[in-house]
Amino acid sequence: MIRIPGGTFSMGGDDLDANPEDGEGPVRQVTLDPFLIDPACVTNAQFATFVKETGYVTEAERIGWSFVFRQFASRGVMDASVPQAPWWVGVEGATWRSPEGPGSSIGDRQNHPVVHVSWHDATAYAHWAGKRLPTEAEWEMAARGGLERTRYPWGDELAPKGRQRCNIWQGPFPTAPSGGTMPVKSFQPNGYGLYNVAGNVWEWTADWWDTRWEPYAENPTGPAEGTMKVIRGGSYMCHDSYCNRYRLAARTANTPDSATGHTGFRCAAIV
């Protein structure tokens, strides 16, 4: 794990790219103690070890289905979709072992981030590993890699010198072909040595969702309880035409029992 020195940093964003309705701003000064965090998201291979040793069954496996990007779904498609996002469909048998549903596998994706894991699943893994999920503030401090007030882990320009620095949607969304997830250590790490904190998969955090900044004024862990958990970092499905949440200050949320083909996690721990 990587040791993050702690201290005070500028959390959130209020530039022209910000989504005020998501509670990205105003920018606040947040002070954290030192902590440890994984350099990359938990992989399929790591999660498989956890399952083998504990017999754990994920929520998607217990429910019998999960949400898959429509472009990837071919079998098991259910009459379950998201009205505001028709590119998602419910697929019977879609789990972390079979990310696109029946007939798919993770055989050649051992070093890709595990997906179709709920917040509860991620928390169970973290507990088994002697770790925990990072708070939202810890996640952002670590993702910034020591930089202050930048849009991305490497600066303010999305593709410096025309070079792609993260796994986000390329071409018209949602019709252009997508390659889905990439290995967890794709692209260059940030200043602290963290990989893929922008794009690839959304990452669960410990915090409950709140769009007001007041809960963070005195308590860096945010609101005490709620109905959704914060996810950070964006995913391979993010595109500027509808979702530019691969920025460091961007945030959204999902219910703790939800699982999708573009959400994973990394762990943190006390120093």
What value does the mean pLDDT take over residues 7-27? 91
What value does the mean pLDDT take over residues 245-267? 96
Number of domains in the chain: 1
- Decide if pLDDT at 177 tops 80: yes
- How confident is residue 12, by pLDDT bands cut at 50, 70 and 90? very high
- Decide if pLDDT at 224 tops 70: no
More confident residue, 22 or 213: 22
Task: Please give the Cα distance from 201 to 144 (Å, whole number).
Answer: 17
- Decide if pLDDT at 189 tops 90: yes
Q: What's the CATH number where 265 sits? A: 3.90.1580.10
Residue 50 lies in a domain: yes
Q: What is the pTM of this model?
A: 0.94
What value does the mean pLDDT take over residues 79-100? 88
Residue 106 lies in a domain: no
Tokens of 92: 């019977």
Peptide bond before 86: cis, by omega within 30 degrees of 0?
A: no
Residue 13 lies in a domain: yes
Length of the chain: 271
Residue 72 lies in a domain: no
- How confident is residue 215, by pLDDT bands cut at 50, 70 and 90? low
Residue 84 lies in a domain: no
What value does the mean pLDDT take over residues 172-197? 95
Tokens of 176: 């252009």
pLDDT confidence of residue 222: 65
Residue 83 lies in a domain: no
Residue 66 lies in a domain: no
Among 35, 31, 4, smallest CA distance to 270 is for 35
Task: Please give the Cα distance from 149 to 147 (Å, whole number).
Answer: 7
HSE-CB at 6 with a 13 A cutoff on CA atoms is 10
What value does the mean pLDDT take over residues 107-111? 98
What value does the mean pLDDT take over residues 200-204? 98
- How confident is residue 170, by pLDDT bands cut at 50, 70 and 90? very high
Residue 134 lies in a domain: yes
Can you give the residue range of the structural domain that contains 46? 2-54+111-270
pLDDT confidence of residue 20: 86
Task: Please give the Cα distance from 44 to 227 (Å, whole number).
Answer: 28
pLDDT confidence of residue 225: 73
Q: Please give the mean pLDDT across all residues of the chain.
A: 93
